[in-house]
Every structure is written in structure tokens, then in C-alpha cells.
């Protein structure tokens, strides 16, 4: 176990939430506490020119939302933290799902005013499929929201997760006075502040102490004593093993925009969150402590720097030690590759690194060799599994508005679909290019980026497809016959895999029943 010390100090996690719950704001505050930035950007205010560090695309700064996962690495109290800020908007859920394959735990942000929302449910389902440990941060306590007990009950019932409060709020909205830390028995008084200069914290081991009455008033002190007595009786001490197994989720209350409650959560997080975990491959389980390096690509981003037309593949290191300028085996193309400028990131800023260890997320300059799901090793042939491509929900034909820019359009579409922004299908019996997305906003992003990054103007025409299904069969003749008869409704994805484009649920069920020798798949694991 050569690298035990480096592995033990790493924490790799994603922040997830429904849009507008305060996820990107919380990311900024974590960076602030880690000393990675000096001032936090205003994510949504158009009056303030300083934008959120993690929203690095021009379209993100215009719309005030995150549309791509950002990777940020910083140190905090001798821990190396790899933080992935994910898009909250449902139209970019696939980017978030893939990101969750590259982390060991998540922080779930819940808006205290709105409670559990649609996208929160979807994301937690993905976490529960993998038993990913979750810490919950209930945000916006300085606004008038739901009763704290009702909110906990709603989260437990709606998301089917068991909660364990670590801090407890004293009122909310304009009456919000702070939180009592149940874990280390201290009172944190609320002050609105955007600086990471610590909080007004008072140690109170015994809640009967009159200091409590002096600080928050007799009525609120009496309420807090009742609440804490009830909570201690129900929850007791946090069982860290249950948290690591994904059975219990610690809960913190605060206000990210005011930097309140963030440090308590971060301090607990670095102590209890899992170090880099073992991962399943097509051959065996790989442990982080293994001597030989391996890792997988979970995200590709073209034009991180629009001036240099660069293309960066984001890799999660899973085992061993990655070294700059060393040759590694690219399993899918069976070729050895090396990287002279591997990067660590703080959103748009990037620094060249000499080495990386399990848990690290690094950027590799890519000339077009990588696809999402690709695996790099020190010679062994295996793939990391569980990185799916899902069937899109909206299909549109890509129409070139400027024939003089055909090459730019082809290159742009190829690169953007390599990133996983959308899926590209080519119809059989013609060269019609069909773009499949989860939501309408993705088409806007593609159109915007093609124009601004590749100088290629395009438009989209809606198509009447319901679902894309990948096809496999043990009988190649039957498959070829089906594709020939269904030429109008079939094509191939960008990797040449046959796909059936169903017009409706009825058509799809009919074809499934009429063709028992053909398997219809609603997701396609990209490295298979």
C-alpha cells in the first residue's frame, strides 16, 4: 500500500440539487473556506459582473444556471478535496448521472422553502442505486420556509432516505437566529456575511446554562431545549458505518449565500466522508491501493478555452499513481498514449500536475482519442463499468444553414456529442442527422455553441419519435432483415450501433412483440 497516505486524505464528491436550491452558491462557499478563491461570485445577479467560479461557459453566465459539470480541486485542513458541481436542470441530467459514477459521496442541497422537488427525486434514485453516501444541506434558512420537523419528514418520505440531524435551526426566515450543533455541543449565532471569516460560536455542553437564554432569548431557548431532548432521544450519536453504507444521511441547516452553516458541514464532511472506494470493472473489482494505475473518462469538454479550441477529457483516477509523460494503455483502441500536460482544475483555471492519486479528477488534453467510458491502465485489459447512455426524449433533425461551413458543423457536432451533451443518430437510407436530447434547453446550448465556438449556423426541425432503442440479436440475419424493412425508423448511433427510432409506445411494443429474436435496449452502456 505505497500510496495509503495520499489515498486517505482525498475526498471526491459531487453537489446535487434541483435548480435554484443554492447548489452553485454552496460550491462557491466551500471554495472560499478552502482558500481557493477570495470572493464568492453572484450566480444569478446580472448587476454584479463577478460570476460564479464554477459557471465557466458564456451561456451559463447569461442564463444564471449550470449546464455542465465543473471540476474543482482544493485543500482544506490537510485534505485534498475534489469537488464536482453538477447541473441541476433536468435537461442536463445525463451529465449529472455520469458524474455520479466518478465520485465517492454526494452533498444534496434542499431548499427549505420548496422542500423536495422533482429533480431531487431523480438524483437521489441514482445515488440509491449505487448506495452512494449522502450528506443533506438544508439551505435558505434565512427565508420563511417549512417547519423543520415537517421538512425532515417530507425528505424521509419522499426520498426514502433515513436522516440524522447534526445541527438544528433556531427559527427560520427573519427570526432565524442560528443553529445548535448537536455533534459538538455548540451554538452558532447567525449573522449575514459573505466572507469566510468564521462564525460566532459558543460552546454550550449543558443546554440548561443561562448563557443560552441570554444569547437567543428565553422563549427560543425553551423551544431549543425541547427540540434537542426529542432529537437526542430519537437519533442519538451518528453511526458513521451506516452513513458510509448509504443507510443514513447526516443533515445540516444553514444559509449558503450568507456563509452560515457551511463550515460545520465541511468540517464534519472531511472527517466522515469516504476515502476513494473500490470500483467494478469488466474483469474484477479494482481497489485504490493497487500499485498499478487505472482510471476512466467520465466527461469530455471541447473548447474549455474558446481561444485555443482545446478538448479536455476528465478522468477519475481509480488505482495506483498517474504520472505525467508516462505511457498508459488505452484499452478500447489498444494503443499506448502519454500526456505531457495533465491538469488539475479550478473550473476554468487549470494547473499542470506531475502526478495524481486515486480519487483525483484530472484533465487530459485530447486530440480525439477519447470517448466517455474509456479506460486507461498500466497494461491490463478491462473496462470500468456502469457508465450508461440513456434513450433521449426529444428528437430533432439537424439542418445546416450555411453549406460553406459544412466541415465546421460536422466537427462541432462530432465533438459536442462526444461530450455527451446530446446523442447523434444517422438515419439509414440517407444521411439525415438526428440529434436526441433529454430536454429542449440542450438544443439551445448546442445551437449556441456551434455558432460561437465553431462558426457554424444550424437550425433544428422536430421529428415524431418517441424513443431510441439500441438493438442486439444472436441472429444477425434477423437483425439485418428488421433494419432493412424499418429503414425509415432505423439508423445507427455515432459508434455504429444499430438503433430503432420508435414513433410511439404502441409502435415500440408492437415491434418488441413481433420480433422475439431481437433485444430492444433503453440504455447503452458506453464501454460495452
- Is 122 in the same domain as 200? yes
* Alpha helix positions (H), 273-396: none
Work out whether strand 162-165 and strand 248-253 pair parallel, antiparallel, or are unpaired: parallel
Set of cell numbers at residue 20? 435554484
Mean pLDDT within 279-302: 90
- Is 393 in the same domain as 343? no
- Is 167 in the same domain as 33? yes
More confident residue, 159 or 387: 159
The average confidence (pLDDT) of the chain is 83
CA distance 339 to 459: 37
What letter would DSSP give residue 180? E
Set of cell numbers at residue 248? 443514513
The residues near 239 (Cβ < 8 Å, ≥ 6 apart) are: 248
494: domain CATH number?
3.30.70.3280
On whether residue 226 sits in a domain, the answer given is yes
User: Residue 425's pLDDT is what?
Assistant: 92
User: Residue 58's pLDDT is what?
Assistant: 53
Work out whether strand 70-76 and strand 79-85 pair parallel, antiparallel, or are unpaired: antiparallel
User: Residue 188's pLDDT is what?
Assistant: 84
On whether residue 96 sits in a domain, the answer given is no
Crossing angle (nearest 10°) for helices 23-33 and 262-272: 80
345: domain CATH number?
3.40.50.300
For residue 202, the cross-strand partners are 187
CA distance 415 to 301: 8
Instruction: Give me the residue label for grid cell 413481433.
Output: 514
Phi, then psi, of 26 in degrees rounded to 5: -65, -40
User: Residue 108's pLDDT is what?
Assistant: 94
How many other C-beta atoms lie within 10 A of the C-beta of residue 465?
21
On whether residue 208 sits in a domain, the answer given is yes
- Is 336 in the same domain as 248? no
Residue 316 — pLDDT band, cuts 50, 70, 90? very high
Residue 310 — pLDDT band, cuts 50, 70, 90? low
- Is 234 in the same domain as 331? no
The closest alpha carbon to 70, from 55, 52, 92, belongs to: 55
Phi, then psi, of 43 in degrees rounded to 5: -70, -35
376 sits in which H/E element: strand 375-377
Q: How far is residue 525 from each of residues 284, 383, 390, 483, 484, measured CA to CA in Å?
A: 17, 11, 8, 21, 25
The residues near 278 (Cβ < 8 Å, ≥ 6 apart) are: 285, 286, 287, 288
Q: What is the count of structural domains for the chain?
A: 3
The residues near 85 (Cβ < 8 Å, ≥ 6 apart) are: 14, 15, 23, 24, 27, 54, 66, 69, 70, 72
- Is 392 in the same domain as 520? yes
On whether residue 301 sits in a domain, the answer given is yes
User: Residue 107's pLDDT is what?
Assistant: 94
Residue 350 — pLDDT band, cuts 50, 70, 90? low
User: Residue 206's pLDDT is what?
Assistant: 76
The closest alpha carbon to 370, from 324, 339, 333, belongs to: 333
Mean pLDDT within 212-216: 85
End-to-end Cα separation, the chain, in angstroms: 31
Residue 135 — pLDDT band, cuts 50, 70, 90? very high
Phi, then psi, of 259 in degrees rounded to 5: 60, 20
User: Residue 349's pLDDT is what?
Assistant: 54
Residue 66 — pLDDT band, cuts 50, 70, 90? very low
Residue where one domain finishes, among candidates 342, 377, 412: 377
CA distance 142 to 452: 40
Residue where one domain finishes, among candidates 377, 412, 444: 377
pLDDT digits over 248-264, tens only?
999 999 998 888 888 88
The Cβ-side half-sphere exposure at 493, using a 13 Å CA radius, reads: 23
pLDDT digits over 475-490, tens only?
999 999 999 999 889 9
- Is 188 in the same domain as 139? yes
User: Residue 253's pLDDT is what?
Assistant: 94
User: Residue 137's pLDDT is what?
Assistant: 95
- Is 304 in the same domain as 167? no
| Of the listed ranges 26-35, 85-94, 457-466, the one predicted with least confidence | 85-94
Residue where one domain finishes, among candidates 226, 254, 272: 272
On whether residue 459 sits in a domain, the answer given is yes
Q: Is the pLDDT of residue 67 over 60?
A: no
- Is 284 in the same domain as 140? no
Set of cell numbers at residue 490? 432505423
On whether residue 1 sits in a domain, the answer given is no
- Is 52 in the same domain as 188? yes
Residue 527 — pLDDT band, cuts 50, 70, 90? very low
More confident residue, 182 or 50: 182
Q: Is the pLDDT of residue 291 over 90?
A: yes
More confident residue, 362 or 86: 362
- Is 127 in the same domain as 78? yes
pLDDT digits over 392-450, tens only?
888 999 999 998 999 999 988 988 887 777 889 998 877 789 999 877 878 888 898 89
User: Residue 65's pLDDT is what?
Assistant: 40
On whether residue 447 sits in a domain, the answer given is yes
Among 73-77, 309-313, 342-346, the range of highest mean pLDDT: 73-77
The closest alpha carbon to 423, from 395, 465, 385, belongs to: 395
On whether residue 287 sits in a domain, the answer given is yes
User: Residue 53's pLDDT is what?
Assistant: 44
User: Residue 2's pLDDT is what?
Assistant: 78
- Is 286 in the same domain as 154? no
How many other C-beta atoms lie within 10 A of the C-beta of residue 322?
26
Give me the domain span that covers residue 214: 9-88+104-272
User: Residue 94's pLDDT is what?
Assistant: 67
The residues near 400 (Cβ < 8 Å, ≥ 6 apart) are: 406, 409, 456, 457, 458
Q: What percent of the chain has pLDDT over 90?
A: 39
Amino acid at each position: 500500500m505505497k500510496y495509503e497516505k495520499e489515498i486517505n486524505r482525498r475526498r471526491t464528491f459531487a453537489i446535487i440539487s434541483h435548480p435554484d436550491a443554492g447548489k452553485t452558491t454552496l460550491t462557491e462557499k466551500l471554495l472560499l473556506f478552502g482558500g481557493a478563491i477570495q470572493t464568492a461570485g453572484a450566480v444569478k445577479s446580472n448587476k454584479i459582473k463577478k460570476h460564479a467560479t464554477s459557471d465557466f461557459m458564456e451561456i451559463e453566465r447569461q442564463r444564471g444556471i449550470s449546464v455542465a459539470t465543473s471540476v474543482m480541486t482544493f485543500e482544506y485542513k490537510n485534505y485534498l478535496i475534489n469537488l464536482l458541481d453538477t447541473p441541476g436542470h433536468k435537461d442536463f441530467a445525463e451529465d449529472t448521472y455520469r458524474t455520479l459514477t466518478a465520485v465517492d459521496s454526494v452533498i444534496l442541497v434542499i431548499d427549505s422553502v420548496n422542500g423536495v422537488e422533482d429533480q431531487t427525486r431523480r438524483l437521489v434514485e441514482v445515488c440509491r442505486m449505487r448506495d452512494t453516501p449522502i450528506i443533506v444541506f438544508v439551505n435558505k434558512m434565512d427565508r420563511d420556509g417549512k417547519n423543520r420537523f415537517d421538512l425532515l419528514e417530507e425528505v424521509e418520505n419522499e426520498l426514502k432516505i433515513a436522516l440524522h440531524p447534526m445541527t438544528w435551526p433556531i427559527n427560520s426566515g427573519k427570526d432565524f437566529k442560528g443553529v445548535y450543533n448537536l455533534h459538538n455541543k455548540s451554538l452558532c449565532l447567525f449573522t449575514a456575511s459573505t466572507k469566510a471569516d468564521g462564525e460566532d460560536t459558543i460552546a454550550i455542553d449543558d443546554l440548561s446554562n443561562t448563557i443560552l437564554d441570554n444569547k437567543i432569548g428565553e422563549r427560543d431557548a425553551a423551544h431549543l431545549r425541547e427540540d434537542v431532548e426529542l432529537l437526542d432521544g430519537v437519533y442519538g450519536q451518528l453511526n458513521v458505518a451506516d452513513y458510509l453504507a448509504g443507510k443514513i444521511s447526516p443533515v445540516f441547516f444553514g444559509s449558503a449565500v450568507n456563509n452560515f452553516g457551511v463550515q460545520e458541514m465541511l468540517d464534519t464532511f472531511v472527517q466522515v466522508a469516504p476515502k476513494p472506494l473500490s470500483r467494478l470493472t469488466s474483469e474484477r473489482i479494482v481497489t485504490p491501493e493497487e500499485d498499478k494505475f487505472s482510471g476512466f473518462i467520465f466527461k469530455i469538454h471541447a473548447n474549455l478555452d474558446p481561444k485555443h479550441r482545446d478538448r479536455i477529457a476528465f478522468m477519475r483516477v481509480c488505482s495506483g499513481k498517474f504520472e505525467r509523460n508516462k505511457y498508459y494503455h488505452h484499452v478500447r483502441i489498444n494503443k499506448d498514449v502519454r500526456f505531457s500536460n495533465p491538469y488539475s482544475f479550478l473550473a476554468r483555471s487549470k494547473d499542470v500536475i506531475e502526478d495524481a492519486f486515486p480519487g483525483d479528477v484530472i484533465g487530459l488534453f485530447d486530440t480525439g482519442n477519447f470517448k466517455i467510458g474509456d479506460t486507461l491502465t498500466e497494461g491490463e485489459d478491462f473496462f470500468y463499468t456502469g457508465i450508461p447512455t440513456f434513450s433521449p426524449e426529444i428528437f430533432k433533425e439537424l439542418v445546416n444553414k450555411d453549406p460553406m461551413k459544412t466541415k465546421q458543423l460536422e466537427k462541432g457536432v462530432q465533438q459536442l456529442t462526444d461530450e455527451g451533451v446530446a446523442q447523434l443518430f444517422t438515419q439509414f437510407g440517407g444521411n439525415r442527422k438526428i440529434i436526441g436530447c433529454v430536454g429542449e434547453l440542450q438544443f439551445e446550448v448546442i445551437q449556441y455553441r456551434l455558432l460561437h465556438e465553431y462558426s457554424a449556423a444550424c437550425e433544428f426541425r422536430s421529428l415524431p419519435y418517441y424513443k431510441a432503442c439500441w438493438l442486439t440479436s444472436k441472429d444477425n440475419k434477423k437483425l439485418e432483415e428488421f433494419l432493412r424493412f424499418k429503414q425509415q425508423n432505423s439508423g445507427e448511433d455515432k459508434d455504429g450501433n444499430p438503433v430503432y427510432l420508435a414513433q410511439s409506445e404502441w409502435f415500440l411494443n408492437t415491434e418488441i412483440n413481433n420480433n422475439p429474436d431481437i433485444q430492444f435496449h433503453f440504455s447503452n452502456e458506453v464501454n460495452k
